[in-house]
Amino acid sequence: MHLPSSILAEVSDKMMSFPALIVWNVVLVLVAWVAAKKNRWLVLLPLSLAAILAFGAAEEYRDPFVGPAVIHELGYSYAALSFLPLYAVVTFTMRKKKSA
């Protein structure tokens, strides 16, 4: 039982862990919320960080060797979780703009 789990750790140990990814998601959305309360233009900072996180993850998934291995080891939820902060910050920004 120990052998298959050590074999599967070839790609996933080089990727960001689930807890770190969740912390990034929460922090970016909270920073966007606070920035939107202060000034609408301050949302560009968390938006740019979320975009860097999402596009960096997209480069990993587009690689013909690394992408399928990451999805096989970590699943589609990990891939979706990489894009969640960008989606959340953009959605929050758009909702905030409509209500203003």
Predicted confidence (pLDDT) at residue 9 exceeds the cutoff of 70: no
Q: What is the greatest pairwise CA distance in the chain? A: 57
pLDDT for residue 96: 59
Complete DSSP assignment for 11-49: HHTTSPPHHHHHHHHHHHHHHHHHHHHH-GGGGHHHHHH
Statement: residue 99 has pLDDT above 60: no
Would the pTM count as exceeding 0.85? Answer: no
Q: Per-residue pLDDT tens for 75-87?
A: 888 888 888 888 8
Backbone angles phi, psi at 64, to 5 degrees: -70, -20
pLDDT above 70 (res 71): yes
